[in-house]
């Protein structure tokens, strides 16, 4: 186990059109035994960062330390790490047993018997004893995944690095492996860096998540922190499914309101005091919007916006209702029993407490929702990302 410190890490690639910055001045400290998930869209630099930590890429600037040892210029084999690759990278000409034993054979002085014993113990833990004599070709995707994990675990490394290890599995197996991986990591208590583009994996698995975009760190925090207190509009939009709704508004501070051509929403004085830019983006999560067809009986009629339903998506437990507000689309997650259907004119209620505000130019957050973030439970989100 190790504490991993990434200090001003920069990675540039040379290309014919000039250099491409894949990771831009990244700073991060990962605690001993912590499970950290790097998440972001394709090309955000998350895999590159991981590969720098692994030693598979040389860094352009900055340093990487394991505990107090600077490993920036060390070769992968000197770093005592184990890695799980997206397509497993099992050695096709070796059996599962040989695949798992290879690292021990290369990097330790253990005798054949000792190696065998460790391989068998790990295989038992992973439930793959029966597969040890099979070659990767003979294994299913899920089984290959287990062998690849076993190969990493048997090494008993200081740090686990996982590069989208579940992306090649089908949705059901992915959900199952997600839980198993968490349990494993809990048991082994090894510092783990996990890369994914899937926000569901990030939300459910990590002790902390690291959101990256364009090679730059957007936010580091617990899943709920990032979900309910996003540092900026990017994080807010990236986490959550369906994603947060954004509506462009203008601040009318004299009247204490946010205006859009279609609606006016009052803001409290405390919020108004935070606003220093006239152009804002209002953010509201789909599950925080309430729909009503009887505005006259609503407790906060001044916070209602008239809309038209364009599409409804029944998911079973919940229904996603898509609304149109002057050309801008808003998604609302409602009870599965909702009677809304396309063409209905409904009023949506935007609770002041759940509303987010972002600076339209910088994207920085001005106001967050008041959802509690110290709970260990994860917000209920329907997750079409699972099948993506």
Partner 1 sequence: MASTTRQFRRRLADVQFGNYLPFYSRLSEEQRFAYKLLAPGLAMMCIIHFLPIIWGTLISFMGVNSTYAQQWHRAPLVGLENYFDVLDPGTVVGSRFWFSIRQTVIFAVGSLVVTYVLGLTAALVLNQQFKGRFVARTLLLLPWVAPVVVTLLIWRMMFQQQSGIINNILLSIGLINEPIYWLIGDNAIWTLVLTHSWTQFPLVMIMLYAGLQGIPEQLYEAASIDGAGRWEKFRYITFPQLKPVSAVVVLLVMLWTMINFTAPYVLLGAQPPRSGQVGILYIYEFAFSNYQFGRGAAMSVVLFIIAMTMAMIYYKYLFDDDFTEGDE
Q: Interface residues with partner 1 (CB under 8 A)?
A: 54-56, 75-77, 81-83, 85, 87, 89-94, 102-103, 106-107, 135-137, 151, 155
Alpha-carbon separation of residue 225 from 194, 222, 264, 352 (angstroms): 18, 5, 29, 19
CA atoms lying within 13 Å on the CB side of residue 90: 31
Closest CA to 239 of 193, 285, 282: 285
- Closest contact distance (angstroms) between CB of 46 and partner 1 is 17
Nearer Cβ to partner 1 (3/135): 135
Exposed e or buried b per residue across 140-154, where buried means at least 16 C-beta atoms within 10 angstroms of its C-beta: eebbbbbbbbbbbbb
Q: What is the CA radius of gyration of the chain?
A: 24
Alpha-carbon distance of 369 to 388, in angstroms, equals 28
- Residue number with CB closer to partner 1 (40 or 157): 157
Q: For residue 163, which phi and psi values (nearest 5 degrees)?
A: -105, 95
**Shortest CB 3 distance to partner 1, Å:** 20
Q: How far is the CB of 85 from partner 1 (least distance, A)?
A: 6
Q: Assess contact for 224 and 37: CB atoms under 8 A.
A: no
Contact status, residue 26 vs residue 50, Cβ threshold 8 Å: no
**Residues belonging to the chain:** 388
- Our CB check for partner 1 shows the closer of 148 and 281 to be 148
Instruction: Give the distance between the most distant pair of CA atoms in the chain.
Output: 80
Supply the angle between the helices 141-153 and 171-188 in degrees, to the nearest 10. 10
State the nearest-atom distance from the C-beta of 120 to partner 1, in Å.
18
Closest approach of Cβ 90 to partner 1, in Å? 8
Query: Least distance to partner 1 from the beta carbon of 185, Å?
Result: 18
Q: To the nearest whole angstrom, how small is the minimum distance from the Cβ of residue 91 to partner 1?
A: 6
Query: Which residue number, 114 or 300, has a Cβ lying nearer to partner 1?
Result: 114
Smallest separation, CB 103 to partner 1 (Å)? 4
Cβ distance to partner 1 smaller for residue 91 or 308: 91
Contact 126, 178 (CB under 8 A): no
**Measured from the CB atom, is 93 or 345 closer to partner 1?**
93
In the complex, the smallest distance separating the C-beta of residue 107 from partner 1, rounded to whole angstroms, is: 3
Closest CB to partner 1 among residues 128, 332: 128
Q: What is the DSSP letter of 241?
A: S
Beta bridge partners of 232: 364
Minimum distance of partner 1 from residue 76's CB (angstroms): 4
Contact criterion met (CB below 8 Å) for 73 and 246: no
Helices (H), 217-359: 223-228, 233-238, 269-274
Looking at the Cβ atoms of 61 and 76, the one nearer to partner 1 is 76
When the beta carbons of 55 and 242 are compared against partner 1, the nearer one is 55
| Strands of the sheet with 81-84, listed across from one edge | 81-84, 159-163, 191-196, 35-39, 208-213, 216-221
CA atoms within 13 A on the CB side of 36: 27
Of the pair 35, 102, the CB lying nearest partner 1 is at 102
């Amino acid at each position: 186990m190790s504490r991993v410190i990434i200090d001003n890490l920069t990675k540039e690639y040379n290309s014919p059109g000039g250099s491409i910055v894949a990771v831009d001045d990244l700073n991060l400290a990962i605690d001993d035994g912590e499970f950290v998930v790097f998440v972001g869209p394709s090309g955000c630099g998350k895999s590159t960062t991981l590969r720098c930590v692994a030693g598979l890429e040389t860094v352009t600037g900055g340093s990487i330390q394991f505990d107090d040892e600077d490993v920036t210029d060390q070769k992968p084999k000197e770093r005592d790490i184990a890695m799980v690759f997206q397509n497993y990278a099992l050695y096709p000409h070796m059996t599962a047993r040989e695949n798992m034993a290879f690292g021990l054979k290369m990097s330790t002085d253990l005798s054949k018997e000792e190696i065998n014993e460790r391989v068998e113990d790990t295989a038992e833990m992973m439930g793959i004893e029966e597969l040890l004599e099979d070659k990767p070709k003979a294994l299913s995707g899920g089984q290959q995944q287990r062998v690849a994990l076993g190969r990493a675990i048997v090494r008993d490394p200081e740090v686990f690095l996982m590069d989208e290890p579940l992306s090649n599995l089908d949705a059901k197996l992915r959900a199952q492996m997600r839980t198993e991986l968490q349990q494993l990591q809990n048991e082994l208590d090894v510092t783990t860096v996990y890369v994914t583009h899937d926000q569901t994996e990030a939300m459910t698995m990590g002790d902390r998540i690291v959101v990256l975009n364009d090679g730059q760190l957007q936010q580091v925090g617990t899943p709920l922190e990032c979900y309910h207190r996003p540092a900026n509009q990017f994080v807010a939009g990236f986490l959550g499914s369906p994603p947060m709704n954004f509506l462009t508004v203008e601040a009318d501070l004299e009247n204490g309101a946010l205006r859009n051509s279609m609606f006016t929403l009052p803001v409290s004085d405390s919020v108004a005091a935070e606003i220093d830019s006239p152009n804002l983006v209002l953010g509201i999560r789909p599950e925080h919007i309430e729909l009503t067809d009887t505005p006259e009986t609503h407790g906060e009629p001044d916070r209602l916006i008239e809309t038209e339903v364009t599409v409804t998506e029944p998911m079973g437990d919940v229904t996603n209702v898509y609304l149109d507000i002057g050309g801008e689309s808003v998604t609302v997650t409602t009870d599965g029993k909702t009677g809304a259907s396309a063409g209905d004119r409904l009023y949506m209620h935007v609770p002041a407490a759940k509303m987010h505000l972002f600076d339209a130019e910088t994207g920085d957050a001005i106001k967050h929702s008041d959802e509690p973030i110290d709970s260990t439970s994860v917000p209920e989100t329907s997750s079409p990302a699972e099948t993506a």
